[in-house]
Chain A
């Protein structure tokens, strides 16, 4: 078990009113387990708390109660040093590739930025150059892209840069928050193939968040259905998709538009 999240609850402040502070609970006690080398799918409609959960799992949002453990160490407990070191173990790729990259940076600076932000230092100038070269090759981009700006790249290419940036920190777990949802059909499959390949080569564990069930069946080993901040159904095996018990999960399955030509 590489990651264990137990009974996570998180709430946010509602609309501000004078002398009144009400909070709205978004996640009502969600528990998750992630095994080494597997891909766990998280499915749910918009507003079900998928992205909030992703942020909690990455250490970006402290939950009100509950714990997240990575390899036995607590992500939100312990001292500062320990928390910092654990945050390198987990990376995240967001849906909005355009807004998650600084438009003033070259692609190489985008990747360097993540290294610098995590407190890594270089001994020689060429040290990071080699790393960036190997990362770009890893995600299937030509080395000439180093000096390009984000607006010169297409959506699929920019999402690859985001993946390279996450890989730079050598995480053991990567969370994909709707990472392929805004790419178009053909590019989606190309990026997912790339992700599968990287997972196999580096032995990573993925948490794959999406609302599209076809991508789940393509990528994941296990699926968890979320609704209104609660886990409504957990599948240990994708073959169980045939006989779902929860009506909401069934509705999600039925709303997939297949090709019946």
Chain B
């Protein structure tokens, strides 16, 4: 793949947490790249540094406690690539939320419980796009319609606690798309939700991917990553263990942890398939 298509190039990303007593390395020497229209999956157990690396790229870690080194070059259009880890606060604000958006894990905690959805959505749209004030409400309704939410007019008047987790997650995905970003970072977007809603949300995300938006998809679920990602990084204890397509990783897992991860999922799925499919038919 040529570098014209490159959206993000991360090299030697290291994140350290500074405490009064000691320094802990949370992400150790991570390098990867994402191209246009591609989805990169990051797999790993909890505490392996998946979310930390994405937060470091977004620049939302408090600099007093976290020490971030390395480079993350973000390519927009024909301009010179900008290093996300070194740009000024104001410049970063122009990128974050417009060119790069993020979908977080816990939809219940991501919205302000004191304001109705319409107000919160309008605020995001107003801050990050140049939409005329009169059109904002129409745009919000359109976002909800695109995400297949029924009666958007009513939903705009509701408070976050009146909506289900799946609906909130879909609204968040809709908002992440409203600025037409170059890169979307999805940090475990389906972990907190049940399997039917998960299936629908994956469907929405796949549609976005087809439109050519680059995506980083973080998850610990092999099944979900398999559906979404073109390439996969396996992370364990702050280090990247293996990179490649998921098929490669499943066929020859390079180390003990990856093998365990793959085997455990395969055991579950094999058992499931053995009940579901006629004997003699392979999965």
Residues of A within 8 A of B (CB): 44-47, 154-155, 182, 184-190, 211-215, 217-218, 238-239, 241-242, 251-261
* A interface, over-half SS: helix
Knowing A185-B264, A186-B264, A187-B45 are in contact, say whether A259-B250 is a contact too (CB < 8 A). Answer: yes
Interface size on B, residues (CB 8 A): 44
* B interface, over-half SS: helix
- Measured between beta carbons, the chain A residues less than 8 angstroms from B269 are 214, 258-259
Within 8 A of A (CB), among B178-203: 191, 193-199, 202
Residues of B within 8 A of A (CB): 45-47, 164-166, 191, 193-199, 202, 220-224, 226-227, 246-247, 250-251, 257, 260-261, 264-269, 271-278, 283
Say whether A218 contacts B193, CB under 8 Å.
Answer: no
- Measured between beta carbons, the chain A residues less than 8 angstroms from B268 are 188-189, 214-215, 217-218
- Measured between beta carbons, the chain A residues less than 8 angstroms from B265 are 185, 259
Selected contact of A242 from candidates B191, B224, B276, CB within 8 Å: B276
Say whether A184 contacts B45, CB under 8 Å.
Answer: yes
A255 to B46, CA, bound (A): 24
- Measured between beta carbons, the chain A residues less than 8 angstroms from B246 are 261
Say whether A260 contacts B226, CB under 8 Å.
Answer: yes
Selected contact of B275 from candidates A45, A211, A238, A254, CB within 8 Å: A238
Say whether A218 contacts B267, CB under 8 Å.
Answer: yes
Known contacts A185-B221, A190-B264, A256-B272; 19 further A-B pairs (Cβ under 8 A): A46-B164, A154-B47, A155-B46, A185-B220, A185-B261, A186-B257, A186-B261, A189-B264, A215-B268, A238-B275, A252-B196, A255-B196, A257-B224, A258-B272, A258-B273, A258-B283, A259-B250, A260-B283, A261-B246
Say whether A186 contacts B224, CB under 8 Å.
Answer: no
